[in-house]
Amino acid sequence: MAYATIVSNKPADPLEPLAYRDIDTPLGELRLVASPKGLRGAWFTDQEMLPSPEGWTRTDANPILEQARRELDDWFAGKRRGFDVALDPIGTTFQHKVWHALCALEFGKLASYGDLARTVGRPKGAQAVGGAVGRNPIIIIIPCHRVIGADTSLTGFGGGLPRKQALLAHEGNRYVSRNPRARRVCDGQAELPW
């Protein structure tokens, strides 16, 4: 996965041209947003954190958005396990460290907040890692759904626990409940639940 952003603490340029499109997925409508350098965001359109598209250009002709759509279609169809689209999320240096660590998680592999904290060199920073995971602007492609509690509990997910449960099942991890305290019951072959 190509991470286009040079990590900085600078806020997004309000004059930077951003393009977007909404796509259908088995888990609901997803809004994809691209800068000239890469995918800037991916949110389900019913997420609380969905930014306003004011000032963005709606298009189906953007090559970054089209690549992201194709790769997501293939991922949901079970034809792909990773993503190649260039990424350009905005965040702090620490958030980028966490998002890079998320991108390193392989399909079907889960990590706890503590595991990620150790990976990014902050072994006592599980809460800070949780904050960075919760601010992930590129859902599914930066796989924050692969982060669970140390006891294998589902914990939270910006797209909602039913979606997290479905994404984990797609990758072979089973949860019988959508309760945040639900624990993983088994690992199995990836099956498409939709």
Q: Which residues are catalytic?
A: 144
Element (DSSP H or E) covering residue 129: helix 126-134
Residue 57 φ/ψ, nearest 5 degrees: -105, 125
Q: Based on DSSP, count helices (H) and strands (E) in the chain, helices before strands.
A: 5, 8
Enter the tokens of residue 62.
């953007």
Q: Do 4 and 88 contact (CB within 8 A), yes or no?
A: yes
Count of residues for the chain? 194
Q: Do 1 and 84 contact (CB within 8 A), yes or no?
A: yes
- Spatial separation of the C-alpha atoms in residues 30 and 94, rounded to whole Å: 26
- Spatial separation of the C-alpha atoms in residues 39 and 8, rounded to whole Å: 17
Q: Do 129 and 113 contact (CB within 8 A), yes or no?
A: yes
The DSSP bridge pattern shows strands 28-34 and 39-44 to be antiparallel
- Sign of dihedral through CA atoms 23, 154, 112, 90? positive
